Amino acid sequence: MTIGFTAEPASLDFTTDDGVAIPEVLLTNVYEGLVELDADGEVRPALAESWDVSDDRRTYTFQLQPDVTFSDGESFTAEDVKFSIERAQEEWTISVADVMDVVDSVTVDSPTEVTVELSQPSNAWLYAMTTRVGAMFSPTGVDNLDTDPVGTGPYEVADWTRGDSITLQRRDDYWGERPAMETVEFRYFDDENALNNAMLTGDLDVISNVAAAESLDQFTGDDRYQVIEGTTNGEVVLALNHDRDVFSDKRVRRAIAHAIDQEALLETVWSGHGELIGSMVPPTDPWYEDLSDVHPHDPERAEELLEEAGVTDLTLDFPVPNLPYAMDTAQVVQSDLAEVGITTEIEPLEFPAVWLEDVFTGHDYDMTVIQHSEGRDMPTFGDPDYYWGYDNEEVQDLLDRADRSGGDERVEHMRHAADILATDVAAVFLYLQPMLVVADSEVEGLPENRVSESFDVTGLSRG
């Protein structure tokens, strides 16, 4: 089965390289964790058969699946759990690994039992173990992660032709239920027309997510194809660099938010597909509230705020990933801001490599547009060193208390933090990326929603 994508990973090592393109291919398919997310976004067993949590919510004891092996033939045991968690603490260089800071110790109780002790209760930790940071590694399989990943999953990487495709090969010795497809090819396209044409000519079986909504017209109503529309947790954000002096004035940030007609933007970019959001919270999170009307479209108010701030002739550097959704969104934002006297200079950057280096790592930007696809990622606004440089002690305290709290108290703290992010215009939260999958009518097992970073191919088959 061959699946079309628009963003190719720069390497295969998600312990040192950010961006969703790597875990999109490898997570669940090649690498597995102790736990994973089900279709509803709930945590369920994976390499761990079960786990117990102490009353103080600091001690997790995992019972592991028996007879699991890595693709290099090594057995998976509790020693590998200890190795993987400690390696994430000590050697991972990407920001998501910070969630492992809360781990005090990992103790091997037996080959199939491991105990993890946290320094304090953390709701984020177990959820994070469903993401790339929870992937299990073999000590003998980490020497060449950028080109030769070694995991416990049902597939291994058989070929990577850079600039073209990654091919996964089904493992005959997989410990669990073997997937139906022997090989799955992830094929990459820089041009959306080429992507659509490959589907129309039969070179693809699936488009993972159409690059533009108008592309659907070619497939809708044709019995050869099925179109699946679902939701994601991918917040498309107009990020503002708070390290820039101009954004230290809240009135400027509010002016930008009021200047953008988000309903018209969503209609233009996605023909109304997707959903407006007002903070860094998708509707699938327990603390979601509709905050999309906190800063309604009001160009006159935007101009008043800029005048109050004494800002005139404002020109902003606007580097943007060279992906269709990002470029289309940026052009609408550029037009709306021009109406209130703000000039933006759009600079397309190769994604992921150049955008990650210049914007995400180098913080060299005024504004940018990007989809944040990691689940429950609002806590990034609690880290002043994150690429948007937002530093709000009240938000940091609320996020910290939410992580240590349980039940309704946690939800209350998260909602309060989300409300501050919206009213303070920590960023302009534009919309939730829709999931618009096109597939051959015989393809079965495609997920209706994307709730994790992985494009899970383990359940795919042909009818």
pLDDT band at 57 (very low <50, low <70, confident <90, very high): very high
Type of residue found at 129? M
Helices of type H across 235-320: 250-259, 262-270, 299-308
- What percentage of the chain carries pLDDT values higher than 70? 100
Q: Please state the domain extents for the chain.
A: 232-434
pLDDT of residue 406: 85
Calculate mean pLDDT across residues 114-137: 96
Structure confidence by residue, pLDDT tens digits, 370-385:
999 888 999 999 999 9
Query: What is the rounded average pLDDT for all residues in the chain?
Result: 96
pLDDT of residue 213: 84
Residue with tokens 């312990």: 15
CA–CA distance, 224 with 246 (Å, rounded to integer): 52
pLDDT at 317 over 90: yes
Three-state SS letters, 8-62:
CCCCCCCCCCCCCHHHHHHECCCECECEEECCCCCEEECCEEEEEECCCCCEEEE
pLDDT band at 227 (very low <50, low <70, confident <90, very high): very high
Going by their DSSP bridges, the two strands 103-110 and 48-53 should be labelled as unpaired
The domain defined by 232-434 carries CATH number 2.60.120.260: no
pLDDT band at 95 (very low <50, low <70, confident <90, very high): confident
Q: Residues 345, 331: contact at Cβ < 8 Å? A: no
Structure confidence by residue, pLDDT tens digits, 177-204:
999 999 999 999 988 999 999 999 999 9
Q: Residues 157, 183: contact at Cβ < 8 Å? A: no
The residue ranking higher by pLDDT, 18 or 111, is 111
pLDDT band at 399 (very low <50, low <70, confident <90, very high): very high
**DSSP SS3 for 394:** helix
CA–CA distance, 321 with 431 (Å, rounded to integer): 17
- What percentage of the chain carries pLDDT values higher than 90? 91
pLDDT at 212 over 90: no
pLDDT band at 448 (very low <50, low <70, confident <90, very high): confident
